Amino acid sequence: KQEVTQIPAALSVPEGENLVLNCSFTDSAIYNLQWFRQDPGKGLTSLLLIQSSQREQTSGRLNASLDKSSGRSTLYIAASQPGDSATYLCAVDHTGGFKTIFGAGTRLFVKA
Amino acid sequence: DTGVSQNPRHKITKRGQNVTFRCDPISEHNRLYWYRQTLGQGPEFLTYFQNEAQLEKSRLLSDRFSAERPKGSFSTLEIQRTEQGDSAMYLCASSPSPETQYFGPGTRLLVL
């Protein structure tokens, strides 16, 4: 049974700091891995999707890496801003798009 | 394209009552997903539709839960004889392919 774990559960950093969020999964036979952002009381917004054959994806200040063999992914956020404050969720998919398994998320607070 | 919409956004009901939620996916997205999210946790997969066919159901979807997607357009999720443990955010997502899912804002259910 796939389990997705995210560390840390919560993180508070001053504005401008670079930071890394971690995600680990127990079954390396994944189809893809996604990072989502969720603002309080809202739905999820996809940030980056990494296919199983890829090692990393970049979008603006965000960079996500994937190491399938070790069951790990990291989300790197450069030059953090208060607007980055949200919960970041990691999700893995085995079967081509359904039964996506999510981690519990990392709650990020960026202080101005 | 206005994104995925869900109605109602909030629902308060008494234990034992039936409730129904509606999800309108992005037009032409043939895949539709329902998730349940409790406080401090990531979304948990409930069920998946491809067009009008319900192809996957989680064990979380007890006999009191039923989902439909008539004509492959909007979808409804009904919970019969609600229990306090059903209190959660119910999220709907749609996608055109087995990759990025586009989430709605969710319906927050409180069972008293």
pLDDT in tens, A32-79: 999 999 998 888 999 999 999 999 999 999 999 999 999 999 999 999
DSSP state, residue B26: P
The helix/strand/coil state of B71 is helix
Show residues of chain B in contact with A104, CB under 8 Å. Answer: 40-42
Who's near A60: CB < 8 A, 6+ residues apart?
Answer: none
pLDDT in tens, A1-31: 889 999 999 999 999 999 999 999 998 888 8
In this prediction, residue B22 carries a pLDDT of 98
- What proportion of chain B, given as a percentage, has pLDDT over 70? 99
Query: In this complex, which of A31, A49, A98 lies closest to B100 when CB atoms are compared?
Result: A49
How many C-beta atoms lie closer than 10 Å to residue A82's C-beta? Answer: 10
Residue A95: pLDDT band with limits 50, 70, 90: low
In this prediction, residue A91 carries a pLDDT of 95
A92 interface with B at CB cutoff 8 Å: no
Residue A101, CA atoms < 13 Å, CB-side half-sphere: 20
User: Position of tokens 């603006």?
Assistant: A60
CB A46 within 8 A of CB B101: yes
A5 interface with B at CB cutoff 8 Å: no
| Distance to chain A for B9, nearest Cα, Å | 10
Show residues of chain A in contact with B106, CB under 8 Å. Answer: 41-43
Say if residue A69 is exposed, middle or buried (CB neighbours under 10 Å; 0-12, 13-18, 19+).
exposed
CB A65 within 8 A of CB A56: yes
| Distance to chain B for A84, nearest Cα, Å | 18
Look at residue B1 and tell me whether its pLDDT is greater than 60.
Answer: no
A99 interface with B at CB cutoff 8 Å: yes
B54 interface with A at CB cutoff 8 Å: no
Closest CA in chain A for residue B6: A43
B90 interface with A at CB cutoff 8 Å: no
Look at residue B105 and tell me whether its pLDDT is greater than 90.
Answer: yes
Query: In this complex, which of B4, B98, B105 lies closest to A96 when CB atoms are compared?
Result: B98
Show residues of chain A in contact with B103, CB under 8 Å. Answer: 36, 43-45
User: Position of tokens 């996957």?
Assistant: B56
In this prediction, residue B86 carries a pLDDT of 96
